[in-house]
Amino acid sequence: MEQKVETHDCCGPAGADGNAFDLIVVGAGSAGFSASITAAEAGKRVALVGHGTIGGTCVNVGCVPSKAMIRAAEAVHGGISAARFPGVGPCTHAADWGAVVNGTTDLVVEMRQKKYLDLLPAYDNVAYIEEGAARLVEGGVQTGSRLLSAPRVLIATGSRPQLPEIEGIAEVDALDSTGLLTLPARPESIMVLGGGYIGCELAQMASRLGVKVTLVTRSRLLPGAEPEMSEALTEALKEEGIAVENNLAYNSVAQGTDGVTLTIERDGKTEALTAERIVVTTGRVANADGLGLEELGIDTDARGSIKVGPDMATTRKGVWAAGDVTDRDQFVYMAAYGAKVAINNALGLEPMRYENAAMPWVVFTDPQVAGVGLSEAEAKAAGHEVKTSAITLDNVPRAAAARDTRGVIKLVADAKTDRLLGGQIAAPEGSDTIQTLAMALKFGMTTKALGETLFPYLTTVEGLKLAAQTFDKDVAKLSCCAG
């Protein structure tokens, strides 16, 4: 039902009958709010139709709770890692799993209120409506018993975790990322299926909070990242006591008296891995069921994600889509950006096209893994004659001073033009470093220009300069600040 405290009565933005709008947005997460605000600021009447918990994945079950618990785990681990400095002994911190989970839940509630619910009253021409499941129909959206009409509709319903096709997986009490982040009591052991960014982040977080962790993947950790990043992260996780089992096939899952057993096959041999709980992080699927897409001729891909063009338009005139429900990048900032692109085009404001050539991404493990642009393999596939440079963090003074040389930096460039094409970094401060490289790519810098740029000494970002210089020289033979 329409929430009066947050929105408006039927004589407000929708006109006399309360059901006619300029734009209907289905889904009230990051993309949905971005679209609604953009349209509202352009003076349009908007119906924001709730689809799931207001705020969507990021604030409720994704970025906010996971990064909050990752930070808590870092604080616990910090006492142990301090021992890498001469003269500093290790210390242990108590970790109350239940208290961490409860505190994280409180943070989620606070941020959902502040960044979503409290924003609605500021936009008089946005009506937030929760009447029931939404379904697109000719000329608008049916939500519960209420029929809303508008010449433009934006779908922003997000995604959800997906169970892999493994025999027996549906019969065991499997946790997804949300289930682990809200688990009231700490399990003795978990087995994490999936070596993507969610699996790696949650595996390390749980381990640092006192859980025995086995991380299982069919190929390698972070299969979409450069092999050098995968190797650096694998080594770091193993050093912390996480069992990393890769290059295998899943056969079956079964619940037993001692927990959950995963039967795998590796190198022609069958093995059994057991843990108290199993956590599935093998992928996500678009929330597109029941929206009436097929009836309206809205195309989806093999995974059920809505196909959109560079203007974020679907194959149905008058319908756009943005965020995780589409076949585009599944990051919260790209969801908000994609929604802005969609609404600008839908309303004829400023013509925009979805661009992700300089889109940075981060995996919040320790060391953090971050990247932007093309990998070496992607650059070659795109037809470039490629040159690369890679340096380990023991070449970066900041890492040496911090007594933490875990990691590597790799740059990819066009061999003919010297223009940077991409780069990735595995480093404790990689998330903050990558934005500099994103700016370099956005403005077409060459490796020579990057190598000649001034960087402050004893910073991780200085490693980008050193990696750029490595194309032409051996930085191990340079004095501090030389070059």
pLDDT in tens, 155-197: 999 999 999 999 999 999 999 999 999 999 999 999 999 999 9
Reported confidence tier of residue 371, pLDDT bands at 50, 70, 90: very high
Of 237, 260, 282, which one is at a domain's C-terminal end? Answer: 282
Q: Give the whole-angstrom CA distance, residue 238 versus residue 215.
A: 10
- Is residue 107 one of the residues assigned to a domain? no
> pLDDT above 70 covers what percent of the chain?
95
User: Does residue 8 surpass a pLDDT of 50?
Assistant: no
Average pLDDT over residues 370-399: 97
- Is residue 408 one of the residues assigned to a domain? yes
Average pLDDT over residues 68-89: 90
Q: Give the whole-angstrom CA distance, residue 331 versus residue 16.
A: 38
| Amino acid 482: pLDDT | 58
| 273 and 298 part of one domain | no
Q: Give the whole-angstrom CA distance, residue 420 versus residue 386.
A: 10
Query: What is the pTM (predicted TM-score) of this model?
Result: 0.93
Query: Token pair 């950006």 is at which residue?
Result: 337
Structure tokens at 214: 């086995």
Is residue 426 within 8 Å of 399, Cβ to Cβ?
Answer: no
| 156 and 28 part of one domain | yes
| 129 and 197 part of one domain | no
Give the domain CATH number at 318: 3.50.50.60
Is residue 398 within 8 Å of 458, Cβ to Cβ?
Answer: yes
| Amino acid 7: pLDDT | 37
Reported confidence tier of residue 307, pLDDT bands at 50, 70, 90: very high
Is residue 276 within 8 Å of 192, Cβ to Cβ?
Answer: no
Of 231, 252, 282, which one is at a domain's C-terminal end? Answer: 282
| Amino acid 80: pLDDT | 81
Domains contained in the chain, number: 3
Reported confidence tier of residue 94, pLDDT bands at 50, 70, 90: confident
- Is residue 40 one of the residues assigned to a domain? yes
Average pLDDT over residues 259-279: 96
| 246 and 310 part of one domain | no
Average pLDDT over residues 322-344: 97
Q: Give the whole-angstrom CA distance, residue 256 versus residue 422.
A: 47
State the residue range of the domain holding 120. 23-55+116-160+285-346
Q: Regarding predicted confidence, which is higher, 12 or 137?
A: 137
Q: Give the whole-angstrom CA distance, residue 264 versus residue 279.
A: 16
| Amino acid 14: pLDDT | 43
What angle in degrees, to the nearest 10, is found between the helix axes of 332-346 and 30-41?
A: 30
What is the b/e burial string over 191-225, where b = at least 16 CB atoms within 10 angstroms of the residue's CB? bbbbbbbbbbbbbbbbbbbebbbbbbbbebbbeeb
User: Does residue 336 surpass a pLDDT of 70?
Assistant: yes
User: Does residue 343 surpass a pLDDT of 90?
Assistant: yes
| Greatest mean pLDDT range, 253-267, 366-380, 466-480 | 366-380
| 175 and 208 part of one domain | yes
| Amino acid 17: pLDDT | 64
Average pLDDT over residues 62-81: 92
Mean pLDDT over each residue of the chain, to the nearest integer: 93
Q: Give the whole-angstrom CA distance, residue 29 versus residue 32.
A: 5
Reported confidence tier of residue 314, pLDDT bands at 50, 70, 90: very high
Q: Give the whole-angstrom CA distance, residue 223 versus residue 478.
A: 34
User: Does residue 13 surpass a pLDDT of 80?
Assistant: no
- Is residue 457 one of the residues assigned to a domain? yes
| 274 and 309 part of one domain | no
Residues in the chain: 483
| 290 and 341 part of one domain | yes
Give long-range contacts, CB 8 A cutoff, 24+ apart: 14-21.
Answer: 14/45, 14/47, 14/127, 15/45, 19/146, 19/147, 19/148, 19/149, 20/45, 20/148, 20/149, 20/150, 21/45, 21/46, 21/47, 21/127, 21/148, 21/149, 21/150
Each residue of 193-212: pLDDT tens digit?
999 999 999 999 999 999 99
Q: State the amino acid at position 232 in one-letter form.
A: A
Reported confidence tier of residue 256, pLDDT bands at 50, 70, 90: confident
| Amino acid 4: pLDDT | 33
Each residue of 98-129: pLDDT tens digit?
999 999 999 999 999 999 999 999 999 999 99
Average pLDDT over residues 324-337: 97
User: Does residue 214 surpass a pLDDT of 90?
Assistant: yes
Cis peptide before 86 (omega within 30 of 0): no
- Is residue 90 one of the residues assigned to a domain? no
| 450 and 378 part of one domain | yes
Q: Give the whole-angstrom CA distance, residue 386 versus residue 299.
A: 36
Nearest CA-CA partner of 217 in 232, 207, 203? 203
Give the domain CATH number at 429: 3.30.390.30
- Is residue 260 one of the residues assigned to a domain? yes
207 Cβ neighbours under 8 A, 6+ residues apart: 73, 213, 237, 240, 241, 242
Structure tokens at 180: 């682990």
| 272 and 296 part of one domain | no
Average pLDDT over residues 303-331: 97
Q: Which of helix, strand or coil describes residue 99?
A: helix
The side-by-side arrangement of strands in the sheet containing 189-193 is 243-245, 212-216, 189-193, 277-280
| 155 and 292 part of one domain | yes
User: Does residue 22 surpass a pLDDT of 80?
Assistant: yes
Of 232, 260, 282, which one is at a domain's C-terminal end? Answer: 282
- Is residue 135 one of the residues assigned to a domain? yes
User: Does residue 316 surpass a pLDDT of 90?
Assistant: yes
| 214 and 185 part of one domain | yes
| 306 and 367 part of one domain | no
Average pLDDT over residues 376-391: 98
Structure tokens at 407: 């990691």
Average pLDDT over residues 234-254: 97
Q: What are the helix (H) ranges across 62-148?
A: 63-81, 97-115
User: Does residue 448 surpass a pLDDT of 50?
Assistant: yes
Structure tokens at 364: 């919040």
| Amino acid 393: pLDDT | 96
Is residue 192 within 8 Å of 199, Cβ to Cβ?
Answer: yes
**First CA to last CA distance, the chain:** 65
Rg of the chain, C-alpha, whole Å: 24
| Amino acid 302: pLDDT | 92
| Amino acid 479: pLDDT | 62
Q: State the amino acid at position 192 in one-letter form.
A: V
- Is residue 88 one of the residues assigned to a domain? no
> With DSSP H G I counted as helix, E B as strand and the rest as coil, what are the percentages for the chain, rounded to 5?
35, 25, 40
